Amino acid sequence: MNERYFICVSGVVQGVGFRPFVYQLAVQHHLSGWVMNSSAGVKIDVQGRKEALDLFVRALHERPPRLARVDEVVCSRQHLGRTQGFTIHPSQHETHVAVSVAPDQSICPECLSEMNDEDSPYYHYPFINCTHCGPRYSIIEQLPYDRANTSMKAFDFCPSCLQAYQEPVNRRYHAQPTSCHHCGPRVSLRYAQRAQATRYDEVFEHAAEILSRGGVIAVKGVGGFHLVGDATLSASVMKLRQMKHRQRKPFAVMVDCVETAMQYVTGESAEWQALTASAAPIVLMKRRPHPQLVPDVSCDSPYLGVMLPYTPLHHLLFEHYRHYRREPILVMTSGNLSGMPLVTDCDDMLCLFGEALDGVLDHNRPIANPCDDSIVHQAGHAIRVLRMARGYAPFSHHSDYQGAPVLAMGAQQKSTIAMAVSGQSMVSPYIGDLDDLDTQQRYEKTISLLQHLYQCQPSQWICDYHPGYFSTQSAKAQSGRLLQVQHHHAHILAVMAEYQLTGPVLGVAFDGTGMGNDDTVWGGEVLLADTQGYQRCGHLRPFRLIGGEQAIREPARILLAMLLECYSLQDIQSLAHPAFQSWHEHDFFNLHQLWLSGQHSPLCTSVGRLFDAWACLGALLGRPDFDGESGLLVESAAMTAGHADTPWEMNWEDGASVLDWQPLLIRGIESKIWLSQEAVSGACRGLIEALADAIQQMARRYPSLPVIVSGGVFQNRLLMDVLWHNWDESKQPIYSGKMVPVNDSGIAMGQLWYGIHQC
């Protein structure tokens, strides 16, 4: 018996080869009808034998293309019609958007093989792609995802590419960036010192030669520029640090293959799988000693961020560079000044860095939407995303939410945007810190892009409590309902959103800074939370930030404030601690007066600032060079520690909700840990284990609640590993972000989870 179905499929179903998949599936099952893209999803009108139709619908659910994500398949029976064969119709534009924008993906094995095949028309073509790989988010301008709605619209097909694009059984059927040497984008090598560019057929050869002599070039990738130099040449690495104004923050590297990566890092199977996945993130792995790697690449970090070539252009650059280095390893750092947005235009790159650049490997495919590299690591028995960008973002998922559009504005640091429309939620790629005008403008463009793509005007805006955040100020300038979510509640909600939890939960939020509802600086919080609100049931013992923000830049002020809770000023001066060596008598006096009066010295419960003080106590750090440096130094020192005869302890005060750090500090002072590397390592291990134990102590008070851990401190993989190693998940489940970062990049998702439950 024949039947006819009208089917609408929503999810990540455009730009991933879904229509040719449907076409081939229909032909396989001898079905007739049509399929087409629309902004409301992929629409299918299909008829044939009922048994074949049922198999067809099951395959839509169970065997979609590798990059697709099917959220919903809605079927409705129709009256039988007269149809012959199965066809693919042109796309349709609708007001309701039910599809999701696909992230950019690395080159697939099939395209890489063609690019290396001398008999292929795509031999050595730097922009080869198909429905399984290549740019998506970075080129899209509007939905539905058709070539006319991307930055490829300026490139007309040659006859060969048009044939491939129109043939349903071809791997390039409606792959929007499809092109070749004859009709597609072209590469060029430009120089700051002279106007002319290198000939097309010599670009990679000349770029490799520049790198081989210690030069630095800019390379235009999928979502923006990288600054690139040879990681085995000191002159190149030092020049990169000077150009970026970046003293100690480790650089990421790109290597040509897994075998080369194994020379520099070691890892577990999950880490190697992440490295070779189609998302192609930077994976932070344990660094191996290697005589050729310039020490200033990693700056004594125990980890090295490694990625593989993810575009054909990268592969071609490495192919030429193997003429100079058998196992090439290149620093690949974001093409910007630290704290500024990623550069996407060659002229801007030359304007920013000028003659410091020895060349710019450019191409003429416009980048519609900038997107940085994603960063992941393994911690707490799982691969976890630290920066969600290329390959992972926009991150979207199916949602039961059916209300009006909601937009969440995120935090000030590591900002992202999140939005919910009927049937789905999404998070933008990482944008950056909203401390400068350029990043603020990119942030506002991202908000406009999401509204444009999904053709909506949010009726509800969600933001942080902090009145000084640019994101908060932007939210307050919008028309519509405004909701504000406390920062640490949002951290907990972000994890709840990822696991689709509504609460109640016991949430532990440890980070650097967040405004509490008592107008003090929070950052070591335990909350009884759900999607409606929270109750603060525990926090770190408060201490003062002498001079406010200045204390974050000078951790010795934090250490002084904590010591003043335990000792007299005279006793502290008599310690002759290296953190205070450059201070004069009047420095001690003035800072002591600020501490006594509380003037410009807010109370703080931040675990992130505790790590600052601990790094300072162990003489590991003077002035931090980048966010999280203290935590990384403490973690690095702790990894070398042996077994402690007596555990370092932090306990919740009897009958109270305050986690007391004082015994830990007094023990560190009395043993003068800064005088011995072994003692520092033991104390750092002690701090991490004491924090993990304190979380377990609090969890035992609420045995019926699942536990959430979130906030930037939980980027510390040793803390996560210790916590998970000692936890019995069969008795009490514990959750932390995997796809949604636990740092402030996840705040927008937490705000959104709150907002959609208030409607």
Catalytic residues, which ones?
19, 37
Whether 70 and 16 have beta carbons less than 8 Å apart is answered as no
Half-sphere exposure of residue 67: CA atoms within 13 angstroms, side-chain side? 30
Neighbouring-strand partners of residue 92: 38
Whether 667 and 611 have beta carbons less than 8 Å apart is answered as no
Question: 681, 674, 676: which is closest to 643 by C-alpha?
Answer: 681
Q: What residue type is 609 in one-letter code?
A: R
Structure tokens at 498: 């990822």
Question: 153, 756, 38: which is closest to 401 by C-alpha?
Answer: 756
How many residues are recorded in the chain? 759
Neighbouring-strand partners of residue 37: 42
Question: 660, 744, 684: which is closest to 710 by C-alpha?
Answer: 744
Element holding 585 (H helix, E strand): helix 585-597
Tell me which residue has tokens 């292929």.
120
Whether 748 and 427 have beta carbons less than 8 Å apart is answered as yes
Structure tokens at 99: 């599809």
Secondary structure E strands in 335-441: 359-363, 375-379, 382-387, 395-398, 406-408, 418-421, 424-427
Residues 22-52 as b or e (16 or more Cβ within 10 Å = b): bbebbeebebbbbbbbbbbbbbbbbbbeeeb
Backbone angles phi, psi at 475, to 5 degrees: -65, -40
**Integer CA distances (angstroms), 120 to 113, 116, 250, 529, in order:** 9, 8, 40, 58
The CA distance from 666 to 634, in Å, is 18
Question: 738, 740, 96: which is closest to 402 by C-alpha?
Answer: 96
The CA distance from 156 to 545, in Å, is 60
The CA distance from 43 to 74, in Å, is 10
Question: 699, 757, 742: which is closest to 494 by C-alpha?
Answer: 742
Whether 342 and 349 have beta carbons less than 8 Å apart is answered as no
The CA distance from 413 to 339, in Å, is 10
Structure tokens at 71: 């959220």
